[in-house]
Amino acid sequence: MELNIVRETGDFVVADKPSGLLTMPARGTLAGKPDLAGLLRKRFGEIFVVHRLDMDASGLIIFARTAAAHRYYSGLFETREVEKKYLVAAQGLFEDERGEIDKPLKQRGSGRMSVAFDGKKSLTKYAVVGKLKGAALLEVAIVTGRRHQIRAHLYSIGHPVLGDNTYGEAAAQSKFPRLMLHSWRLRFKDMSGKTISCESDPPAGFMSVLKVLGH
């Protein structure tokens, strides 16, 4: 598999993950499937996972190349000093052009995340950037970084991500060839204090769905 490396230094690698590829090795039914971290290790040697993207999502993701860099970049994510923006196609029409979803999330035994009073604080911000047939194209920024945060939050307000068979109605979502969630921008300060900004255009599969939906 050809790797799309967006930025590479001695401390980190920013890669553009394709939809359908695991970020790191998984257990259960996905055990043994190729993962991005493993592919990067074959090319760069030592690689440390800093954060994750869902298997069916695509886009930018940071990996550290040293233990010190792993501590530093993991710290940036913990203190929310990384700007993360996503393009998302969500079901339904939005009344407001901008909004926030401030709902605590908790993982259930099924692996799904759901809104719960005793969950972890989770904040998602969104802006409508395009109107589609029965859907909307959103630019989403996550202030926190919970598992499935965007998917669970949008589902909780009645706007599941297109192609999301886990949270949306399976019959309706199965007609989409992929999860319509793409990490398009990462901005952060590297270990020297320099601001790094990386962007990634959505892949052809993402754009083809938008074209069918009239964007």
Q: Tell me yes or no: is domain 5-212 CATH 3.30.2350.10.
A: yes
Report the pLDDT value the prediction gives residue 112, as an integer from 0 to 100: 87
Report yes or no on whether pTM surpasses 0.85: yes
Torsion from C-alpha of 141, 114, 71, 77, nearest 10 degrees: 10
Using a pLDDT cut of 70, give the percent of the chain over it: 99
Query: Residue with structure tokens 């996503």?
Result: 86
pLDDT digits (tens, 9 = 90+) for 73-124: 999 998 888 999 999 999 999 989 999 999 999 998 777 899 999 999 999 9
Average pLDDT, the chain: 93
Q: Where are the domains of the chain?
A: 5-212
Distance of alpha carbon 140 from alpha carbon 127, whole angstroms:
7
Q: Tell whether the model's pLDDT for residue 30 goes beyond 80.
A: no
* Residue that wins the pLDDT comparison between 99 and 2: 99
* Catalytically active residues, by annotation: 54
State which amino acid sits at residue 24.
Answer: M
Distance of alpha carbon 148 from alpha carbon 154, whole angstroms:
10
Report the pLDDT value the prediction gives residue 198, as an integer from 0 to 100: 97
Report the pLDDT value the prediction gives residue 1, as an integer from 0 to 100: 67
Largest CA distance in the chain: 49
Average pLDDT value for residue range 180-203 = 96
Distance of alpha carbon 66 from alpha carbon 49, whole angstroms:
11
Average pLDDT value for residue range 36-45 = 95
Average pLDDT value for residue range 35-57 = 95
Q: Which of 67, 54, 2 is nearest to 166 (CA)?
A: 54
Judged by average pLDDT, the poorest of 59-73, 158-172, 197-211 is: 158-172
Confidence grade of residue 215 (pLDDT, cut at 50, 70, 90): low
